[in-house]
Amino acid sequence: MALGIIGGTSLFSTKLLADAKERALDTSYGTVYLLVATVQSQEVVYIPRHGKESSIPPHRINYKANIRAFKELGVEDIIGVTSVGSLKHAIPPQSLIAPHDYISLCSIPTYYDTELIHVTPGLDEPLRKRIIDAGRSLGISIIDRGVYFQTVGPRLETRAEINLMKEYADVVGMNMASEATLATELGLRYANISTVDNYAHGIIAGEALDYKDIVAAASKSREKVEKVLVKVVEGMK
């Protein structure tokens, strides 16, 4: 069974996909650009959530089509790779974190637009553990708990928003909760590894925050994340 990976800023130009075959898959929610790669002789289906040209902003990502594409290809385990800002001094940039829960209070996507069905959201604990164990066996430290706060994007947060979030969550990002929720609705397993690429706005007094720096920081963690993903894939044999 193929592993699904959905990545964004943290995996821009990843080497994992060097020999991947490109595909455009039509789903009832829209067409999804994806790559099918062989990693350690295992099939990996990779969806770049910002699209082929890395140009779709977070609030316009077609999450329903993306997660549906995994389902249609028979993928049952999905690892989301996301870039986050830290809400805590103790979680410095360049850390990796595998969140155990999330908060997402607005723009919650759903497949249940015409049926009265309420799933109980969450992350898949066995898959999360596989990510953490992969890191451990490589000597790559992954913070093994944390609450992810999802915002809508595309703008970053105000200082006041971050002051509120930091009381309840550890990292802030724009994607993970939507993917996890939709995966749950389709009965797929979803867990996440996030690269901590900055302190969120105002966490360090006087520190300026610029998206270009976030992208540059994410590229520094890419190699570590790739190693962890390869190790998870190896464990599938």
178 binds ligand HPA per the rule CB under 6 A = no
CA 51 to chain centre: 14
Cβ neighbors of 72 (< 8 A, separation 6 or more) are 25, 27
85 binds ligand HPA per the rule CB under 6 A = yes
- Of the candidates 200, 225, 228, 232, which one interacts with ligand HPA according to CB under 6 A? 200
Region of 38-46, 113-121, 137-145, 194-202 interacting with ligand HPA (CB under 6 A): 194-202
Taking the C-alpha atoms of residue 195 and residue 98, their distance in angstroms, rounded to an integer, is 9
What number of chain residues touch ligand HPA (CB under 6 A)? 13
Distance in Å, CB of 106 to ligand HPA, minimum: 14
Region of 41-49, 69-77, 81-89, 99-107 interacting with ligand HPA (CB under 6 A): 81-89
Binding residues for ligand HPA restricted to 207-226, rule: CB under 6 A: 214
What SS3 string covers 14-78? CHHHCCCEEEEEEECCEEEEEEEEEECCEEEEEEECCCCCCCCCHHHCCHHHHHHHHHHCCCCEE
Residue, CB closest to ligand HPA:
85
84 binds ligand HPA per the rule CB under 6 A = yes
Backbone angles phi, psi at 40, to 5 degrees: 50, 45
Which of 76, 197 has the CB closer to ligand HPA? 197
Residue of 66, 36, 82, 8 whose CA lies nearest to 188: 66
Taking the C-alpha atoms of residue 129 and residue 196, their distance in angstroms, rounded to an integer, is 19
Binding residues for ligand HPA restricted to 147-176, rule: CB under 6 A: 151, 156-157, 172-174
Which of 34, 172 has the CB closer to ligand HPA? 172
What is the contact surface with ligand HPA in residues (CB under 6 A)?
83-85, 151, 156-157, 172-174, 197-198, 200, 214
